[in-house]
Structure 1
Amino acid sequence: MNIYLVRHGETEENLKKTYYGSLDCDLTNNGRNQALYLRKVLSKLNFDNIFCSEKKRAKTTLEIIGYKENIIEDSRLNERDFGIFEGKTFNEINEAFKDEYTNWMKDWKGYTPPSGESFKTFYNRVKMFIEDIKDKEYDNILIATHGGVIRAIYCYILDGNLDHYWRFASRNGDVTKIKFENNYFYIDSIMPFNNLD
């Protein structure tokens, strides 16, 4: 099985460098251009199934790529919900929520922001999705999702070591190809959006 992970195109919140997992925002013009570029590359492939986050930015990216029907939306592919930290930068969180920020820094995996979810909870729902699809008879699947989800999938592939989350980037418009062969996942390639040819 070949799994193609696509991170959605750029958003205004990306430009502001905020935490915005549960916010439902649209793409910038640059984000739309990133999706158009992906369309040229991914149109060469045939997919047995296409999965998507429920968020507008992921769905719009898929639509621009050329997929509007027969898309399976799955909440497990949504970005992490940062609760009261949503829409704020790292420094703004530190200024507005001193105690919460301190607790988060002490335990980044286990701490749950008020009204949000912990990294462990987030990771476990992403893990459930991956373990569900590995039992399917697919040749090629496409998944449009978020940077945090993609990096959580990397952690899963790397023996569930959550510390690997910080060892990878996932930029807007990037494509990762993962293979599942002989009951084994591995990262085949990570293709930045500006160097896919």
Structure 2
Amino acid sequence: MDIILVRHGETEENALKNFSRKDVQLSQRGRIQIENTRKYIETLDFKKVYVSPLNRTIETMEILELEGIKEKRIQEVDLGLFEGKNYETLEREFPEETKLWNEDPVTYAVPQGESIEGAYSRVKEFLEELIERNENVLLICHEGIIRIALSWVFDRPEYFFKFKAENGSINIITVHEGYKYINKMNYINY
């Protein structure tokens, strides 16, 4: 079975290198990215679509001309107080929190947010449910969730920082007879 992970198109906050807020929309460039991604998606075989309930992923799904089931467990890692800010702003406005986050980026929960480890638990639970169903699925989600899913292949949440997922990219994890592997990574059709 294949778990196809599609990252939403670029947002203005992505372009500014800010940690995205929950309510952002795609930029014009992001919409074009997804229109181009749609051409490749049409060649893939999947039974169901699951989508993060955030605006940018819903908009991505609409551009892909798909219908999906909203799934909160594939919503982006909640960065609480850090949302909408870039790294330089974090160092200035939240120096202690930024220091703690840098020292322990996997288990530290950002105030009013969650840790990578916490997000990993919810994503892992969902992915393992998908394996039990044993059907090809497409997930429209976020870079953090894709990085978590790729880390899950190795059962190592700390691998989160070893991956990158571009806007509009397609990543495929294949599970065959209980063995999971990365089949395609960061495929971009634009």
Q: Distance in 1 between matches of 2:82 and 2:186?
A: 30
Q: How many residues end up aligned between the 2 structures?
A: 190
Q: Distance in 1 between matches of 2:121 and 2:3?
A: 19
Residue number in structure 2 paired with 1:149: 145
Q: Distance in 1 between matches of 2:45 and 2:105?
A: 39
Residue number in structure 2 paired with 1:18: 18
Residue number in structure 1 paired with 2:84: 87
Residue number in structure 2 paired with 1:179: 174
Q: Structure 1, residues 102-134: CA drift from partner, whole Å, max 9, x if none?
A: 111121111111111111111111111111111
Q: Does 1:193 align with 2:152?
A: no
| C-alpha deviation, 1:162, in angstroms | 2.4
Q: Which runs of 5+ in 1 are unaligned?
A: none
Q: Distance in 2 between matches of 1:91 and 1:191?
A: 27
Equivalent position amino acid for 2:185 in 1:
I
Equivalent of residue 75 in structure 2, options 54, 74, 78:
78
Q: Where in structure 1 do 4 or more consecutive aligned residues deviate above 2 Å? A: 44-47
- Aligned ranges 1:47-196 → 2 under 5 Å: 47-67=46-66, 69=67, 71-138=68-135, 140-158=136-154, 160-194=155-189
Q: Structure 1, residues 139-179: CA drift from partner, whole Å, max 9, x if none?
A: x2111000000000111101x22232121110001101211
Q: Which runs of 5+ in 2 are unaligned?
A: none
TM-score with structure 1 setting the length: 0.92
Q: Distance in 2 between matches of 1:161 and 1:47?
A: 27
Contact 2:6/2:171, CA 8 A, preserved across alignment: yes
Q: Distance in 2 between matches of 1:173 and 1:48?
A: 20
| C-alpha deviation, 1:19, in angstroms | 1.2
- Aligned ranges 1:36-55 → 2 under 5 Å: 36-55=35-54
| Structure 1 residues 154 and 18, CA gap change in structure 2 (3 angstroms) | same
Equivalent position amino acid for 2:28 in 1:
N
TM-score with structure 2 setting the length: 0.95
Equivalent position amino acid for 2:156 in 1:
N
| C-alpha deviation, 1:2, in angstroms | 1.4
